[in-house]
Amino acid sequence: MADAVPSALVSILLGNLNTLVLEELGLVFGLQTEFEKLKRTFMTVQAVLKDAEEKQWKDKDIRIWLQDLKDAAYDADDVLDEFSIEAQRRRQRRGLKDELRSFSSLDQNPLVFRFKMAHKLKNVRQKFDDIDTRKNKFKLIEGVGENEADRFDWRITSSLVDEKEIYGRDKEKEELIIMIEECCLIEKNRRPRIHKTVRHMSFVDSLCYYDKDLVKVQSLRSLISFQDHYNWPSLWSRALLFKVSSQNKLRTLDLSNLWFENKMMEPIGNLKHLRYLDVSGSDIRKLPESISSLQKLQTLDLSYCRSLYMLPKKMKDMKSLIYLDLTSCDALQCMPSGMGQLGCLRKLGTFIVGKDVGHHIGELQRLNYIGGELSIKDLDNVQGLADAQMLIWRGRQIFNHSVCLGEKTTAAV
């Protein structure tokens, strides 16, 4: 339910603040005290959330307080995510240079990062200190028990609803209005108003009519296309990606079945918070190198991109990748070097064996969690008995897969 969002967010933020990564960064940058103060404030606010969520429908001030809390929680999530991204980047550079060098010595200019993040962290803490102080006037009761967040159901509601036409009890009406302001569906032949507070947007029609509205939106978390075939002009696709690149808080981006020129996707590499990227069914030919800088990306769906012939060379740096779907990427010529370093990977779809180091079949041996269907191509590049034995062993681990030799598919192992 809409009123359970603050509880869910605060619980997630508390979990993030308890990670070893933030403890390490706090020590490195001298921000440990700030993190501890923020954690204590979160805990005092969380203690009264259940009571506040139950009373908000009878008290407008509490409802406003919860909305301010939710906005501040989203801001805090962005800041903590930036720290996590920096930690991943530092671990990566540490591995490339010297395992024995200190965690803090690898950044070219750690003082710049510390100054920028200390300022952001201070702003977040001030917002939560204000929220913590304001809660006292409501005389909320601390309580325990099941929270609404535990059974929260994310719903997507069209923004086409007229508030005057909503009937029923006040609670349901207020919930629906909140969801309308945060979620937006753009349908064909309709021009809904886009609230500047919208966080989740899906579209069937082009977004080219919403230049001014999208510029005002600063909190978009997900953007999902419902196109079933790419019939947009190139100009529309270019305009869409330009608008997307300004939404730097995006977590989910679905641009499946759209038409792209190669350089169009370059700005997506700037969306550092992105977790989910779907460009399946598109006619993209080459994925830009900037994609490999997305340290938080967990899902990359490239299935049925039949014109795709090249992946980013530094894809091995995308350590958070869990789901990489290369199914039916028939034009793909080779794999990036070192795919075996993607230790979290559970879905791949296609692997092309190469002759050079970093492209051997042995890369699959390091991917211990791969499952589902896997098509292995160019087996004529398998070198030696050890590689052949590894292939047989790996084949037994994966339940459903086909093995391809060159362009010909043979029986499954």
One-letter amino acid of 6: P
70 found inside a domain: yes
For residue 281, is it within any domain?
A: no
Structural domain contains residue 45: yes
d(CA 153, CA 151): 6
Q: Using DSSP, state whether 410 is helix, strand or coil.
A: strand
Q: Is the pLDDT of residue 162 over 50?
A: no
Residue 325 counted as domain residue: no
| Residue range 209-246, pLDDT digits in tens | 665 677 678 889 999 988 766 666 677 777 788 888 88
Please state the domain count of the chain.
1
Nearest-10 Cα torsion for 377, 382, 388, 394: -40
Under 8 Å between Cβ of 318 and 292: yes
Q: What is the pLDDT of residues 359-401, one digit of tens each?
A: 888 888 888 888 888 888 888 888 766 666 666 655 555 544 4
In a domain, 23, yes or no: yes
CA–CA separation, 273 and 344 (whole Å): 18
Please check whether residue 81 lies inside any domain of the structure: yes
Residue 170 to residues 56, 134, 160, 324, Cα–Cα distance (Å): 11, 24, 20, 45
**99 domain-assigned:** yes
- How far is C-alpha 137 from the chain's CA centre? 37
User: Would the pLDDT of 347 be above 50?
Assistant: yes
pLDDT tens digit string along 49-78? 999 989 988 999 999 999 999 999 999 999
Distance of CA 86 to the CA centre of its chain: 16
Query: What ranges in 30-185 are assigned the alpha helix state H?
Result: 32-46, 49-55, 60-96, 110-135, 170-182
Give me the DSSP letters along 76-115. HHHHHHHHHHHHHHHHHHHHHS-TTS-GGGS-S-HHHHHH
Residue 71 lies in a domain: yes
pTM of the model: 0.81
Q: What is the distance between the alpha carbons of residues 261 and 284, in angstroms, rounded to a whole number?
A: 7
The pLDDT tens digits for 261-291 are 767 788 899 999 999 999 999 889 999 999 9
Domain enclosing residue 73, as ranges: 2-142
Is 369:346 a contact under the CB 8 Å cutoff?
yes
